[in-house]
Structure 1
């Protein structure tokens, strides 16, 4: 009895390097040379390094070529690379995407407290971006967070919004939760 594997498979690539352009170029060229496609990627600068997360798709042999090529390229370009085989996104029950914006004086517990609130209310985390900066005039370290969560379809939105705003007030956060909207309608 033979088992057939799905034709399209996925590889999750996490890479770090000092030069953002070189990092991005090396990973994308390696995927192209291996006959894989980069179907999603995120790049961010963190101090003197950049971090790239990319998902490549292709046949099992194309992904195997890419997996074999990456360690050599990482050594040559002084990158740190980690790969994980991944499946396609599983279908999930209907959910509503919402965006949470938070601005506050920085405290180390804010992000973990936000995540705990989302967990307690059965919301799934889709994306999280946090940055700190020094406020002009005062020099206070500030935190800006943009978080995308999904609400189960049956969620009473007005109740959840009230719960979130009460939580934000108790944490002394300037926060907003609103429906996710496409950036380019």
Structure 2
């Protein structure tokens, strides 16, 4: 039985808002006993962009292959995924061909400058490559009261945050709770799947 359950939280953050979400999601992941969160980022494609990597390392192929679950985050770019995340995803063709991510739980998160800046379209776009990889995608159920009362970010497709045009808008209480609940949800599913896999070996 694989006793190590590790959730890869992979994101790109140019102004720090998406990274703050990733760190909150990691807290939720690690609220489940025997589950660890691994924070990783992807390189910038342009020299003018400097990702905030203070608490994260650059992702490696082994990070992806060895994870028990994946949580993928990107800022919204014109209602779509950032080019940095898209470029990384397009480099995983050989992993798709091998099927090594099939059956692992996955989810997505995003931040945007404005309330109607394309959060849901970005989240749905992030889900597509995970479905192609055969991952078990999950969102946030509506039993979380924060989904009903949030006045900023928050979506059944995954956590979201309204960061402001300068990326300096604080994460709201509801956004924070949803980030942590999401991490806990993915970690719980990964633990259950690992236990089932172990019981059949």
TM-score normalized by the length of structure 1: 0.25
Larger radius of gyration: 1
TM-score normalized by the length of structure 2: 0.24
The structure whose residues are more often strand, as a share, is 1
The structure whose residues are more often helix, as a share, is 2
